[in-house]
Structure 1
Amino acid sequence: MQKTVLVLVSNPKGTSNLNLLPEIRDLQEALQRSQHRHGFSVEWRIAKTQKDLRRYVMDVSPHIIHFCGHGTTEGLVLEDDTGIARVVSNDVLTDFLQIFADRIECVLLNACYTESLAEQLSQHLNYVIGMNQAVYDDAAIAFSEGFYDAIGAGESYERAFTVGKNAVMEKVTASERSRRKITVIGTDNEPAEDQNQEHLIPVLKINPNPRLRSPLGVQLKLEDRQRKLKKLQERLQVIDQKIVQGVDFEEEPKLEARKDGIYQEITKLEAEINRLEQGRE
């Protein structure tokens, strides 16, 4: 079964422009180049309003939700029906997303000041990543790239989070940056903030009582072995058909030997699949 990643992009009118396309591009490339690329599909939508967000989550049925846009300690910044930027509260977002707790495995909030939302969501969802201060575009892009490189390699969400943090610290420099803190165009510049490194560090919130679910890496490995098993069974059928149809006297022993080799591979795969299904590496 494929894992579906839903990327929700939001940059409401009247807020500072965000450099979102590189983040989407790097996310897709990270998964497309991975060894488990066939295990993922990426869908991205422009979620201007709360209505958009609600409909896209239900339409796509994602396992991972990746939000990139503006945030505050009170919630995410979207547009209302009149096109004006407004904050959709943490309570409203949590009440909605918890409905799909049996399906959503991880939520990544790549927007400023989303730690409080991540904390609330983590009471219902297994893994939620938020930002505890202002986040810069280059930091957001670096984290996404590292996170999805690890996810594509079959790593767990916890390990992918750590890889993402490492990518941030490795890649981000003191170059000119664009922050994902909401800035209403036409107002005075924001006051200077302390130039510490905390804004580069995302925060992972884990459900204290996670539901029983196979770790991501184990599940991807299981699906890979099941595909290999199916191919071997198909090869076996082809050989049996050749033998039934009649082959040369000299060719039949070779085909039987090939069958024996395939049977041995099938036996090993079935044993490995059984271990994986029981949650053992």
Structure 2
Amino acid sequence: MPLSQSQLRALVGEALRSDADLDAFCSDHFPDVYRRFSDGMQRVRKVTLLLDHADPARLTELLPKPISEGQASPPAIPSASGCIKVLFLAANPPSTMRLGLGRELREIEERIRAVKHRDTVTFVSRWAVRPDDLQQALLEEQPHVLHFGGHGTQDDRIVLEESGGGVAFVDKDALADLIGILTDNLQLVVLNACYSEPLADALTQHVACAVGMHQPIGDLAATEFAASFYRALGFGRTVDEAFRLGCSALRLHRIPEHQIPRLKFKAGVDAASLRLVPPV
């Protein structure tokens, strides 16, 4: 028996808990509905448009399955002390378009220094990262958050450096395999690189949450999103709230790329309640 509209509305609310999830779902699966959305539109109106214009059977099939009863989410705080380490990896081979990665890290660190819980967030950076450096850095640092700043490709790869300064590619499966082995403390991966959404999806087999980019993203947008995202985490906000505040910052600064970042999470994880820094 088909579900009623009220039942479908409840199902959408359970499966797509954040506005970012709703926007990304409609953009990916129901683009005709997504094109009807406008800036500032209330969530309830967006859900109504989805229910009015989407095929109910297809909508039910495509919605992420809700968390099973009794299935545990990962711990809200990833370390006993409540402190987190962010490993910032940067790669920009000389032959590729220059990126403002130094500015990105500087903006993040400046905003973290201004937050309530600044002493609970530590940044460690590695530059001109080569494929082998990925293993070395993860083994040494065992971070709670892995941040990559650099280039991504349309065929689901990130761009690293070779020993001689050339270009080295790491594909989606290789990166997911590495993260699956070295999860340790890792809860969140941020891929601040063009076309990285499929990689973020793949990484949520192993980590609670991942952020990737749906399309190419400019330097200014990547920097502002990341700085605002980590600032919100430092204030004890949930991952979902931090993500939405990062996107909101782009709109506040009139940077027209606020729909490019995408938040992905592992089955059974509620990003709306996951905090990396404890609130006070």
Tell me whether the two structures share a fold, i.e. TM-score over 0.5. yes
Q: How does 1:112-151 map to 2 (within 5 A)?
A: 112-151=194-233
Q: How does 1:261-272 map to 2 (within 5 A)?
A: none
Q: Provide the aligned length of Structure 1 versus Structure 2.
A: 197
State whether structure 2 residue 54 is matched by structure 1 residue 7. no
Distance 2:192 2:135 in 1: 18
What is the CA-CA distance between 1:38 and the residue it aligns to?
1.3
State whether structure 2 residue 159 is matched by structure 1 residue 77. yes
Cα distance change on mapping 1:154 and 1:108 into 2, 3 Å: same
State whether structure 2 residue 278 is matched by structure 1 residue 220. yes
Specify every segment of 5 or more residues in structure 1 that has no aligned partner in the other structure, as ranges: 174-196, 225-281
User: Which residue pairs with 2:127 in the alignment?
Assistant: 46
Cα distance change on mapping 1:84 and 1:37 into 2, 3 Å: same
Specify every segment of 5 or more residues in structure 2 that has no aligned partner in the other structure, as ranges: 1-80
Distance 2:257 2:149 in 1: 19
User: Which residue pairs with 2:189 in the alignment?
Assistant: 107
CA contact (8 A) 2:159 2:167 kept: yes
What is the CA-CA distance between 1:20 and the residue it aligns to?
1.2
CA contact (8 A) 2:204 2:266 kept: yes
Give percent identity, aligned residues only.
Answer: 36
Residue type matched to 2:167 in 1? A
- Higher-Rg member (1/2): 1
Distance 2:274 2:170 in 1: 32
- TM-score (norm. length: structure 1): 0.65
Q: Which has the higher helix share?
A: 1
Distance 1:59 1:18 in 2: 26
SS, match of residue 4 in structure 1: strand
Cα distance change on mapping 1:114 and 1:199 into 2, 3 Å: farther
Distance 2:262 2:166 in 1: 29
What is the CA-CA distance between 1:215 and the residue it aligns to?
3.3
User: Which residue pairs with 2:263 in the alignment?
Assistant: 204
Residue type matched to 2:245 in 1? V
From 28, 32, 45, the equivalent of 2:109 is: 28
Q: Give a deviation string over 1:59-113, Cα, whole Å, max 9, x none.
A: 1111011111001132100123443213211100000011233411111100000
CA contact (8 A) 1:111 1:131 kept: yes
What is the CA-CA distance between 1:172 and the residue it aligns to?
4.2
